[in-house]
Amino acid sequence: DVKVTQSSRYLVKRTGEKVFLECVQDMDHENMFWYRQDPGLGLRLIYFSYDVKMKEKGDIPEGYSVSREKKERFSLILESASTNQTSMYLCASSTTGTSLNEQYFGPGTRLTVT
Amino acid sequence: QKEVEQNSGPLSVPEGAIASLNCTYSDRGSQSFFWYRQYSGKSPELIMSIYSNGDKEDGRFTAQLNKASQYVSLLIRDSQPSDSATYLCARFFRGYNKLIFGAGTRLAVHP
């Protein structure tokens, strides 16, 4: 089974803090994704990566950056957290092999910025 | 214009009935489609993927794809209260290597 893990289930941070969200997958997937999910807005793609040290902007990259130094790990960084970044953050991974882009999600991190 | 459209619901069905969830899309070039189930407060869980026109069955779930009419459906037979969740439809965006998600349909199965 695909296993995607995220470093925290719940996180509370203060405005202006630098926040790191970590995601690890154990299936040797090439592609990794960061989404946020908000009521009424659905899933929105922040950043994704299809290889180590590669990154692509998604639909809402402003205020975020990412890092992928190893194939299994994809980090989301909030440089200076703001209250409008309070959300559920979801990491996902996929392979471009036989699974034809099926994405598997981690359990999510519910981030509250106060 | 949204690229993947779903009725937000709630879709309410009695236990044991067939639940029919629908999704339409605007890109004729789409090749791969996915259905995810998401329980409240949890992350999306992949339940079905479909790539060819026609039906694909997996247990109580059947995915139907009609590329000419640009819709994909998910049928849940013998619906159970445990099927109550939000169901997300997604299509693969070729060339950008990402999925486009619909906003989801909330399904409520009542005893």
Give residue A100's pLDDT band: very low, low, confident or very high (50, 70, 90).
Answer: low
Q: How confident is the model over B78-97, as pLDDT tens digits?
A: 999 999 999 999 998 776 67
Give residue A36's pLDDT band: very low, low, confident or very high (50, 70, 90).
Answer: very high
Query: A49 to chain B nearest CA, in Å?
Result: 9
Q: Residues of B with CB below 8 A from A101's CB?
A: 32, 92, 97, 99
Under 8 Å CB pairs connecting chains A and B tally to 46
Using alpha carbons, list the distances in angstroms from residue B91 to A41, A55, A99, B24.
17, 21, 14, 10
Query: B18 to chain A nearest CA, in Å?
Result: 25
Phi, psi of B25 (to 5 degrees): -140, 165
Residue A93: Cβ within 10 Å count: 28
List of E strands, B1-111: 4-6, 11-14, 19-25, 33-38, 45-50, 54-58, 61-66, 71-76, 85-93, 98-101, 105-110
Cβ partners under 8 Å of residue B17, min gap 6 = B79, B109
Residue B12: Cβ within 10 Å count: 13
Using alpha carbons, list the distances in angstroms from residue A57 to A4, A33, A61, A63, B62.
21, 10, 6, 12, 34
Looking at every residue in chain B, the average pLDDT score rounds to: 91
Please indicate if any CB of chain A lies within 8 Å of the CB of B98. Answer: yes
**Residue to substitute from B33, B43, B96, interface A, most A β-carbons within 10 A:** B43
What is the average per-residue pLDDT within A74-101? 90
Phi, psi of A30 (to 5 degrees): -75, -35
What is d(CA A73, CA A21) in angstroms, rounded to the nearest whole number? 11
- In this model, does residue A96 exceed pLDDT 80? no
Q: With contact defined as beta carbons under 8 Å apart, do A41 and A108 qualify?
A: no
Q: How confident is the model over B51-62, as pLDDT tens digits?
A: 889 999 999 999
Please indicate if any CB of chain B lies within 8 Å of the CB of A48. Answer: yes
